[in-house]
Amino acid sequence: MEIPGLKPFRTPAKVDISKGDIRTIVGHLKVCDITDYEIVASNEGSTEVYRPKDFNTIQPTVVKKIKQEKPDKKLEKRINQLEKMVLELSKKPVDDSPKNVEQTTNQTEQFQKQILDAIKNLNVGGGVNEDRRKITEESEDEVAPFIPEIDIEGMKLKNQGEHKTVKKEKGSDDAADALSKLLK
């Protein structure tokens, strides 16, 4: 198996990925459709194990990007179609008879409604290009750490220790003994 940034290896294998880029590695495994793996993270005595499903939560960002590109194309296509229809309508010979004026007004109103509906349904605030730029900016903003960093430096806790307390249940030691035997 070859993963970018790692030496090729034969599966099943335990591989040290601490020097690789975790996003690239997980992404590559996904592309290769490999779902049977675990990533073990150890740090100062604590160990955490991550499985493929743990990385599913980062997918919506990717999905969102793909999904949000579609409305642009769809919108452009619909506007082009409407433009064509309006042009064809304008090329038609002008007939000033009252019946035809009424008909044309109705058609124009329908076009106007369709354009407004298209814009409303596709949730577009500005022009097509402006909206695409907005989506790109949003996607870049989303590249934040999955788990928030904890930074309590500079924060002070005042008057601590005023908690409601109740007495602990007796028999916890015996229960722990019994449970440790069952879990062995």
Partner 1 sequence: MGKEKNTLAVGLDVGTMNLVASRSDSDDVKITRNVFLTVDKDDILNQLSKISYVEGPDGDTYIIGSDAFDFANMFGKKVSRPMAQGLISAEELDAADVLTLMIKDLIGETGDKEVFCSYSIPAEAVDGDRSVTFHENVFARILHSIGINHKAINEAMAIIYSECAAESFSGIGISFGAGMSNIAVAYKGIEALTFSTARGGDWIDNYVAKDLNMVPNRVTNLKERYMQLDGTVNLGKNKKKNKRVLEALFYYHKALIDYTIKNIIKEFDEKVDIEIDDEIPIVVSGGTSMPKGFVQLFSEMLNQYELPFEISEVRRAKNPLTAVSNGLLIRTAADIKNK
Instruction: Name which of 59, 60, 61 is nearest 30 in CA terms.
Output: 59
When binding is defined by CB under 8 A, the residue of 88, 96, 141, 169 that contacts partner 1 is: 169
Q: How many CB atoms lie within 10 A of CB 110?
A: 10
Report if residue 39 touches partner 1, rule: CB under 8 A: no
**Using CA of residue 156, residue 161, residue 162, residue 167, what is the dihedral sign?**
positive
Report if residue 175 touches partner 1, rule: CB under 8 A: yes
Among positions 130-159, residues that touch partner 1 (CB under 8 A) are 146-148, 150-159
**Using CA of residue 80, residue 128, residue 118, residue 69, what is the dihedral sign?**
positive
Task: State the residue for tokens 């590695």.
Answer: 25
Pick 120 or 164: Cβ nearer partner 1? 164
Show the binding pattern over residues 44-73: x = contacts partner 1 (CB under 8 A), - = does not.
xxx-x----xx-xx----------------
Pick 129 or 159: Cβ nearer partner 1? 159
- Structure tokens that stand for 97 in this block: 């008879």
When binding is defined by CB under 8 A, the residue of 7, 10, 99, 163 that contacts partner 1 is: 163
Amino acid identity of 183? L
Secondary structure (3-state) at 126: coil
- Please report, as ranges, the residues that interact with partner 1 according to CB under 8 A: 43-46, 48, 53-54, 56-57, 146-148, 150-169, 171-180, 182-184
